[in-house]
Amino acid sequence: MRIIRATLINHRVIKWGNYMSKVYTVLTLVVCLGVFGLSVVLAVPVPNLTLNVPSAPSIGEAFTFTAVFQNTGTTPGYGPFVDMVLPATGADGNDGVTFISAQYLSIPLQADVQTFPAGGCVSHPFARDTSNQRLDVCGTPGDQLVTIRLPFGSFVPSQPPVEIEVTAQMSNLADVGTALAIQARAGFEFGADPLRNPCCDPVVVFPIEADTSLWGSTSFTPALIGASKTSTAEERGTETAVGANFVYQYTINMNIPDGVTVNNFQVIDDLANMLVFVSLDDVLVNGVSTGAYTATLPPTGAPQNPPNNHLSITLTNPITGTLADDDVQVVFSYYVAEVDADGNPTIDVSGERLIQNTVSAAGDWIPADARDDAFSGSLPCPVCDAAPLHALWARAMALQKDSAVFIDNGVPGVNPGDIVQNTIVFQLADNFTAASLIIEDIFTDGLAFHDSSPGCTPSYNITDSNGTSTGAFTIGSDLTITSPFDAQGRTQLLFDVSAALGGGSMVGGNGADGTITYCTVILDDFLAPVPGNTPGVDLGDTLSNEANVQGQLTGTNPGDPIIPNFREETGADLEIENGVPSKVIYAVNGVPCGVPCELDPGDLVTYRITYDLPTSDFDELTLTDFLPLPVFAISSMTFNDIISGTAPGENNAQFGPGDSFRALSGIVPSVLIDSVNNTVTFDYGSYDHPTTVSSTIDILFTVRTTNEPFAHDLTLVNQLMANEQNSFNVTAQGVAATAFGIRQPFLRVRKGVVGTDNPGSQIAPSLPLPFAPPGDPGAPWSGTINSQLLDGTDINADVFNADNGDLIRFAIIIENVGDSPEGAFDIIVRDILEPGFAIPPGGINLTVRRGDGTVLSFNGNELDLFSTGIELVDPNATEGVCQTYDLTSGGNIVVLTYDLLVQTDTDAFGRLTNTAGVTQYTYADGLGATANFVSDGQVYADGADVNGDAPAVNIFDPAISKIGFLLPGQLGIEGEQVEWIITITNPSNVTGYDVTISDTLRPELRLDRVEISSGTATINGQTISVYLPSLAPGEVVTMSVFTTVLVNSDRIGEIENTVCALARDMIGEECYIGRVVSTLPATGEGFRRVP
């Protein structure tokens, strides 16, 4: 069986790509155990993604949406990424949405954009299955697959969700009103560990299906017209008292897509039948007032029923949209009538009425896309149709409240010690009188009544039909203060408005309204006990203030109600400032670093965490740093009680030079290490300062980068999460991040045929420069082999029409495309001497040179290349044998050339493949296997073919099949049996030696017995191993593994098992995934890919 490997990256293996469709179900088990709640849940990360997409983005304009990523599993995931499918095809094939950019906290994110071809499927840019093949992703041809690597080496369950901001472009040809959808999923490239070892730790992706139509999706509708409507009414435009004395303005904003031209554009507003149109105040086009319009306006002075309630403005000139959302604005004045157009009182006994209003648009528009129909008349406006654009409460009496800092204590923001002015405003409808009018104001503990500062005397200003009355409230007379008012320590103020007016009523008319002002002071401590650990008013505390007006309201018009117990409420909150976190890389190896900082493996990195405290009172303050795995691995941290700007040593922390909280409080934080989530937490506990004073926490700590390899050329982000509880145990969270890059060597390997002594053979594709023929002991080539050359024409050729006895020259090309300044060290290169090739009598004529021609040394003899491999000798401790990337020098390229003899059992042969790879390299001299960047040797391998005249003859490459068989009628419930039938076949003409077949059962299955046709079986727990001394050409070995289901599952049909084979001369394991069925395929065999 030939499974596609990332290791075999040349064209010869691409035809085996159909194997991919057999692999997705293994991912179902890895990811979905946690989703479906089976009792055999494995400890796996679970990537989760939520899209937030505008419902009606404009055609022809860029729009932004967010994708929120988090790990909802139980363990860290490595290499987080997001896949999104953008509907680039739209409705007509080329009029949808395309990708522009993505960012996180203003940090640009790397994105790989692919277009689905005619066949519908593309290879994922980096996610691989258990056979080391890139996952297939299948979608509508022409749509875009956008893959975004998140800038985190790892992502742990406790980490704050990451909100990715994505910008996309809506085509100007998009079909207005035809819904489109974005599909998306999330994944972890490296799975549950940081190694690129898909054989053992596959990619974790959810959903797992290749078919993107099965992913979660969010729909949206391309829009031609957008709209909004605002009012100048009270309470931020949401309420008004009834009557002609309360005139406000409506503003209608119409959005036309940028560059789109509409003729005869019309704005339409059919007013509710209790609204009275007063005047048209302005019409603006692109922000400039215009008189070029015709208007149809409702009559003034009274509310109207249809059709007289119709307001429309038609522009004389064509209007072309801009990027603004108010291309056309219509401003008009209105009020709420006492009686609606049907003669009914607007206000009933409830004292209020909800008035909802929307708008629409009309005009003539010819789409830029000739395939779409023109619009004439009503124009589509999804926002207009979805819901009322504006809601207004009409009331017999309206009440509003506002609180703002009046006298600041010197610390910016809202803090203890500030004097707050509270303003209560109320309006009485024209057709009502109010008796026994009392305004109750209740403010929370943490605030105290204050009247000693200038401007803080509690006072009123009231206007009604009787005139204007002003004055100060008298405590104990028309102002009653009760403190504490309740067990929560709140304070009650009762303003007797009727008493302040001399015992009379407030009479509507003349724009009857009133204003009451008074002051409070923010206390340092609460008076009553609070749930928090300290009595102080802490960071993030919310101090609420509630007000209501009570009284007997009597309507003055016939039919108006009497409301004996009218009550209207309002409120205002003050929030004590939260702390502000920040994080930067302070130094690398004790030296300041640029932005973004570039790190090398083994660097000592000093981070600086600061947390600005507007007030130095807090509860349960922790500063948690999420160090990305595998770049950092935290195991210990010692905090030193010193204040210094000198970077501390490895795994040490101290106060930074800007710290002022240590001297203020005397607190040294405790340090908590979570090695599983790779976090370090500085725990400050709780603190209450007797006065209000701002301070700064400043921490320096140093960690060392590991030698673990990670994805090449990826910017990483280090997150800081600040958590603090307020006095009521509500947690506030602040997030800061800093970006950095890891400079590492990153090797690419190619192998090709560069020469033959057979003049009848052909080498294809052509080489970028000539090589000396095989057997020539001189320089293999002249000139320079550099990255620029390889980018144009790669050295990755095969030879055709070869004969037995031909001498073939091969070249192995190792290119360092990484950015570690010292290059790659300790490189070991190994080749496989496959059957069909032989060592020439005079040796293999091995040469090792840089691309610039420099001769390189290696340890061992040349024939070690075909056994343990040869290690290239580094020039010195600071210069790797394969230098850092350079486009033209050739120093970042190593070329090995050698000769082999074609020697087969017959003169007519097919294809012989010779494969080589790098099995070790690292970032510094002498580290070798202790810091080997090759976590999976197959990733750094390639092959070259020698093709004869006969049909291709395979080297030993077994075909494997496996199927789980339920008896007819069985469902896979607890107690039922599953027989796994495994078949291993040798379809080649080469015998395989020391063949080991291994099968590890899932934990929800109990192993009962094993039957094999040949070989020796060993059982260790859930793993069955079968050893075959040899497997001859055409030989078939079968084994049956009998199991019992231990756990009920309605998804037993989706539970797979993987069987793998490994032989002496195979470069790596080859595996097959089988699943449960209740009937065998017609062949009687499993889902086997036939070579």
CA distance linking residue 1091 with residue 1074, whole number of Å: 17
Residue 24: per-residue pLDDT: 25
Contact 779, 769 (CB under 8 A): no
Say which amino acid occupies 464.
Answer: D
Intra-chain end-to-end CA distance of the chain, in Å: 6
CA distance linking residue 839 with residue 833, whole number of Å: 9
Half-sphere exposure in the Cβ direction for 909 (13 Å, CA) = 26
Beta strands in 302-458 (DSSP E): 310-315, 319-320, 328-336, 352-357, 360-365, 375-378, 390-395, 397-407, 419-428, 432-443, 447-450
Contact 1007, 1001 (CB under 8 A): yes
Cα Rg, the chain, nearest whole Å: 38
Residue 169: per-residue pLDDT: 96
Half-sphere exposure in the Cβ direction for 130 (13 Å, CA) = 23
Tokens 């039938």 belong to: 981
Token pair listed for 408: 């600041």
Hey, what domains does the chain have and what are their CATH numbers?
11-220 (2.60.40.1510), 226-395 (2.60.40.740), 399-575 (2.60.40.740), 580-709+722-733 (2.60.40), 747-947 (2.60.40), 959-1077 (2.60.40.740)
Residue 936: per-residue pLDDT: 47
Contact 950, 956 (CB under 8 A): no
| DSSP labels, 794-862 | -S--EEES--TT-EEEEEEEEEE----TT-BEEEEEEE---TTEE--TT----EEEETTS-B--EES-G
Token pair listed for 351: 């004292």
Cα 718–Cα 724–Cα 728 angle in degrees, nearest 5: 155
* Bridge-based pairing state of the strands 1070-1077 and 959-966: parallel
809: phi > 0 → left, psi -120 to 50 → alpha, else beta; which?
beta
Residue 939: per-residue pLDDT: 45
Residue 137: per-residue pLDDT: 95
Residue 905: per-residue pLDDT: 64
CA distance linking residue 136 with residue 1073, whole number of Å: 16
Which residues partner with 1087 through β-bridges? none
CB atoms under 10 Å from CB of 1085, counted, come to 16
Residue 293: per-residue pLDDT: 97
Length of the chain: 1091
pTM reported for the whole predicted model: 0.71
Contact 620, 723 (CB under 8 A): yes
612-642 core/surface letters (b: 16 or more CB in 10 A; e: else): bbbbbbbbbbbbbbbbbbbbbebeebebeee
Sign of the C-alpha dihedral, residues 534, 539, 540, 544? positive
CA distance linking residue 476 with residue 471, whole number of Å: 15
Cα 50–Cα 56–Cα 57 angle in degrees, nearest 5: 90
CB atoms under 10 Å from CB of 477, counted, come to 10
Chunked mean pLDDT (size 10), the chain, 1091 residues: 23 24 26 29 79 94 96 90 96 94 89 91 89 88 94 86 95 94 94 74 88 94 94 95 97 95 96 97 96 97 96 96 94 97 95 93 92 89 83 96 92 89 97 95 95 96 94 95 92 95 89 96 88 80 92 93 94 88 92 81 92 89 89 92 96 97 96 91 92 92 84 73 80 74 85 92 89 95 92 84 91 91 92 89 95 94 93 94 93 96 69 79 85 61 59 58 70 75 79 84 80 83 85 86 71 63 70 61 33 27
| Backbone φ and ψ of 730, nearest 5° | -90, 125
CB atoms under 10 Å from CB of 714, counted, come to 17
146-166 core/surface letters (b: 16 or more CB in 10 A; e: else): bbbbbbbbbbbbebbebebeb
* Residue 491: C-alpha distances to residues 225, 481, 483, 642 (Å): 50, 7, 5, 45
Contact 553, 341 (CB under 8 A): no
* Residue 1040: C-alpha distances to residues 977, 979, 1018, 1026, 1047 (Å): 12, 6, 14, 12, 21
Question: In sequence order, what are the residues at sequence separation of 6 or more whose Cβ sits closer than 8 angstroms to the Cβ of residue 756?
Answer: 763, 773, 774, 799, 802, 806, 807, 808, 809
Contact 20, 210 (CB under 8 A): yes
CA distance linking residue 850 with residue 779, whole number of Å: 12
Contact 865, 830 (CB under 8 A): yes
Residue 941: per-residue pLDDT: 57
CA distance linking residue 1089 with residue 1033, whole number of Å: 18
CA distance linking residue 490 with residue 488, whole number of Å: 6
